[in-house]
Amino acid sequence: MATNTVRLHRVLRTRPERLYRAFLDPAAMAKWLPPNGFTGTVHQMDARVDGKWRMSFTNFSSGHSHSFGGTYLELVPSQRLRYTSAFDDPNLPGEMTTTVTLREVFGGTEMEVVQEGIPEVIPTEACYMGWQESLTLLKQLVEAEIPG
């Protein structure tokens, strides 16, 4: 079975530790990861190497939900996360690997996201568009500096 890869790059006006935390805080993940038109629920998050995570997205229009989860492979605070993902739906077979690399740069944090092994039945462009929407929400979350 052929697999696909998406690559994304951003520079965000935030510190690496805030961005790193947004990937490991269940409430933050539920807020920014679901693309437009979906809500998210985190069911499990054991943020340690070999720890498991699980969540689901629900289509706000139809109410249809799909769940997925995986294992943390690498966690280097404020620098790098690598984790697997697999859908519960047997029509979306295979395991994806996502690598997030963070690097402090002038004015913020450079972030590179690489998601490999996207199931063949999911158009790469659709996955890329979903990530674009999610990263817009991530930017709004991590760049906001609200006192108190």
Q: pLDDT tens digits for 101-132?
A: 999 999 999 999 999 999 888 899 999 999 99
**For residue 61, what are its two tokens?**
């229009």
Domains of the chain: 4-143 (3.30.530.20)
Alpha-carbon distance 60 to 5, whole Å?
27
Q: pLDDT tens digits for 67-76?
A: 999 999 999 9
**pLDDT value at 2 more than 80:** no
Q: DSSP 3-state assignment of 131?
A: helix
Rounded to an integer, what is the distance from CA 108 to the centroid of its chain? 19
The reported pLDDT for the residue numbered 3 is 63
Q: Determine the average pLDDT of the residues in 138-145.
A: 95
The reported pLDDT for the residue numbered 105 is 98
What's the pLDDT band for 148 if we cut at 50, 70, 90?
A: confident
Q: pLDDT tens digits for 27-41?
A: 999 999 998 899 999
Alpha-carbon distance 95 to 97, whole Å?
7
Q: pLDDT tens digits for 43-57?
A: 999 999 999 999 999
Rounded to an integer, what is the distance from CA 26 to the centroid of its chain? 11
Q: DSSP 3-state assignment of 148?
A: coil
Q: What is the mean pLDDT of the chain?
A: 94
